[in-house]
Structure 1
Amino acid sequence: MLNLFFNKKSTRGRGASLKVVKKSSPLTVHFLLLKKAVLVVLLGSLLILLGLNSRTLVNDINQQRVEFIAIEGSLRNVTENDIKTAVFDFINQSMVAINLLAIKDSLEQNAWIKTVSLRRKWPDTLIINVTEEVAIARWGSQQLLNQEGALFLPSATLAQINLAELSGPSGTEKRVMQQYQIFNQLLYPKNLRIARLNLNSRGAWFMQLSNDTHVAIGSIKAVERLRRFAAVYEVLFASQIESIEGFDLRYEDGIAVKHKILMNDALLSMQG
C-alpha cells in the first residue's frame, strides 16, 4: 500500500508535485534491528579487546627495562666507564620509573662534567648528553678555572695539565680570569705566553712569562701599560729577551728593564 503526500509549498505550478514514500515492511524492520544488534556486539567486543590490549601495553611499558645507554657529547676527560659507573645503581628500573634527576645529580658529581641532560628513547634506550668543563688555567696548584672563572677540582693529578697558573685573594677568581684573557690577547701575537699571573692583596698585577721573564704591571692602568709594552716589545726587546730577567711597567713614561747577570759578566766583575 502506498501513502501519498502532496507538496503544498507551491500552488503556482501547472500541477501539484507528488512525493511517494514507501512504507517499510516488518521483515525490513527486523533485519535493521538485527544489523544494529550485531554492530553493537562487534563494537563492544572491539572495545573489550582494545581495553585488554591497552592494559597489556601499559604493563609492558611499566616493566620495560633500560637495555642500552647512548652517550652524546665530546668527551676528553670523562670516560664512558665513568658514566656507566655513575648510573649503574639507577638503571635497574623500568623506563618509566627510572629517576632521571638522580642520575643527573650523580653524573654531575664528576668535577669534569659541567652539565648533563637525559632523555628516554623508547622502547629501551637512555640517552645521556654530557657537556665537559673546559680548563683555561690553574688556580694555585690544586684547582682549575673554566672560561667563566668558576673553580672546579678534578680528582686526578694536575701534573700533566700544561696551563697557566693564576692566583689571587679568595673571591677574585673571575676577575683574575678576565684579566688573564685580556693580557693573553695582547701578548699572544708577540709570541709571548703567560706562565703565571698573580693579583696581590693590594690589587697589583705580577706576571711570569713562559721564558721565565718577570713583568711587574702594578695596580693602575694595567691593560694600558701592558698594551704599551706589547707595542714596543718586538722592536726593543725581542732580540735580547734571553738576557733580560724582567720588566717593570709601573713607570708613567717608560719601561724599566732588568738584565740577567751572565756568567762572563760575573767573572769580569770578580776579576775587576
Structure 2
Amino acid sequence: MWDNHQLLKGLANFLLGASLLMLLYAGGFWVTHAPVFPVKKIQIQGQMKRVTPEQLRFIAEHELTGTFFTLDIDKTRAAFGKLPWVRDAQVRRRWPDALEIAVEEHVALARWGENGLVDSHGDRFDAASDQQLPVFHGPAGAEKDMTAMLARLRQGLKPTGLAPKDIWLSPRRAWQVGLDNDLKLDLGRGDVELRVERFALYWKDKLAALPYHIDYVDMRYPNGFAVRMPDYKAPPAQVKK
C-alpha cells in the first residue's frame, strides 16, 4: 500500500478535502452563532390601532433569542401572534442586523356571546373591546357562516333603516335576528334572504305605520308573516240583539 503512490495521493487529497470542509463548517458555524451578529433593529410595519408599541417591545425583549442567522423565524412569528389583537405576523431578515415584522390586526366585527370577538374574516379571537358590536349566538364552528349572514342582513335591511343587534343560529340551522329597535325577526331555515327582503318591503309602509309596538315578526310563512304586538287589545265583540 505504501508503495502505491497513486493510492497515497488520492488519500492525501481526500484528507485535504475533508479538512477544508471541516474548516468551512467551523467557519460557517462561527459566523452564524457568533455574538458579533446580533439583531439590532426591529422594524414594525402595518396599520395598528389596538396593538401598542409597549406590547411589541415586550415581545422583542423577552421572546426573541439568537443571532441574526440563528433566530427562529417561525417562533418569532408565533411570539408576536400571542398578542390578542394580532391576526398575523410576517417576519423577514434584513441584512445586516434587522428584522422586518409586518403585523396584521384583527378587525372586530361582532361579539361571540359573552366570550370573545369575531373578526371580519370570521375568525374568533379573545380580546377586550368597548365597541358597540352585534352579538353572535350560535354553535361552535359557525363563526364564518354568521359573519356571512351579518353582511347579507345588513344589505337586506338597508331600506328599513334598521340594523342587526343580535343574531341567533340554532343547531338545526334556523336563524333569528334581534334588531336595534328591539324587534325580533324569526327567519327560520332556507330562503332567509327572501324573507328579509319581504320584511323590508312591508316595514316602512305597513308595519312601522301601525299604532302599536311590535316586538316580534315571524317571517317563516310562505307568502306572509305574523306579528306580535304586546299592547294591542282587540275591540270587545259586539253582541247582536
Q: Which TM-score band (shorter chain)?
A: 0.7 to 0.9
Q: Select 1:132's aligned residue among 105, 111, 119.
A: 105
Aligned counterparts of 1:187 and 1:119: Cα–Cα separation in 2: 45
Is 1:84 aligned to residue 57 of structure 2?
Answer: yes
TM-score by length of 1: 0.67
Query: Percent identity, aligned pairs only?
Result: 27
Q: Select 1:248's aligned residue among 203, 213, 218.
A: 218
Shift of the 64–239 alpha-carbon distance from structure 1 to 2, 3 Å rule, reads farther
Q: How many residues align?
A: 206
Partner of 2:79: 106
Q: CA deviation at 1:241?
A: 8.7
Letter in 2 for 1:106: A
Shift of the 168–61 alpha-carbon distance from structure 1 to 2, 3 Å rule, reads closer
Shift of the 60–98 alpha-carbon distance from structure 1 to 2, 3 Å rule, reads closer
Partner of 1:20: none
* 2:121 aligned counterpart, secondary structure: coil
Partner of 2:93: 120
Is 1:206 aligned to residue 206 of structure 2?
Answer: no
Contact 2:219-2:226 at 8 Å conserved across structures: yes
TM-score by length of 2: 0.75
Aligned counterparts of 2:31 and 2:175: Cα–Cα separation in 1: 66
Aligned counterparts of 1:178 and 1:60: Cα–Cα separation in 2: 48
Shift of the 187–252 alpha-carbon distance from structure 1 to 2, 3 Å rule, reads same
Higher relative contact order (CA 8 A, sep 6+): 2
Q: CA deviation at 1:140?
A: 0.9
Q: CA deviation at 1:226?
A: 1.0
Contact 1:150-1:173 at 8 Å conserved across structures: yes
Residue segments in structure 1 that go unaligned for 5+ positions in a row:
1-54
Partner of 1:27: none
Shift of the 227–125 alpha-carbon distance from structure 1 to 2, 3 Å rule, reads same
Letter in 2 for 1:180: L
Contact 2:32-2:70 at 8 Å conserved across structures: no
Q: CA deviation at 1:189?
A: 4.1
* 1:231 aligned counterpart, secondary structure: helix
Residue segments in structure 2 that go unaligned for 5+ positions in a row:
1-26, 237-241
Aligned counterparts of 1:70 and 1:84: Cα–Cα separation in 2: 11
Aligned counterparts of 1:209 and 1:76: Cα–Cα separation in 2: 29
Is 1:177 aligned to residue 147 of structure 2?
Answer: yes
Q: CA deviation at 1:193?
A: 0.8
Aligned counterparts of 1:222 and 1:148: Cα–Cα separation in 2: 22
Q: CA deviation at 1:166?
A: 0.9
* 2:223 aligned counterpart, secondary structure: coil
Contact 1:215-1:249 at 8 Å conserved across structures: yes
Aligned counterparts of 1:114 and 1:241: Cα–Cα separation in 2: 48
Aligned counterparts of 1:150 and 1:142: Cα–Cα separation in 2: 13
RMSD over aligned CA atoms reads 2.8
Contact 2:214-2:230 at 8 Å conserved across structures: yes
